[in-house]
Amino acid sequence: MVVDDHIAIHQLTRRILEPEGYMVVPAADAPAALLALRSTAAHVVLCDVHMPGPTGLWLAERIRDS
């Protein structure tokens, strides 16, 4: 999963990882990521720390506590 408020980061990550066989699930912010994680088993979450609204650190704490 890639959590970033810049769509260019989603596109770049997808362009790099998908040819290697990885599935990239984009999320625009921390709440969207938490919602997506309910239905997607992500092995890795790449997250921007500085996003509008809840930060990436907030998201990391929620993921760790779940």
HSE-up of residue 44 (Cα within 13 Å, Cβ side): 7
**Number of neighbours of residue 23 by Cβ within 10 angstroms:** 11
Q: Where are the domains of the chain?
A: 2-65
Q: What is the pLDDT of residue 46?
A: 96
For 29-66, how does the pLDDT look when each residue is reduced to its tens digit (9 = 90+)? 999 999 999 999 899 999 999 999 999 999 999 999 98
Q: Kindly state the average pLDDT of the residues 5-19.
A: 96
pLDDT score, position 41: 87
What is the dotted CATH code of the domain comprising 2-65? 3.40.50.2300
CA distances from 28 to 10, 20, 58 (A): 9, 23, 14
Q: What residue ranges in 6-56 does DSSP mark as E strands?
A: 26-27, 46-47
- Global pTM reads 0.90
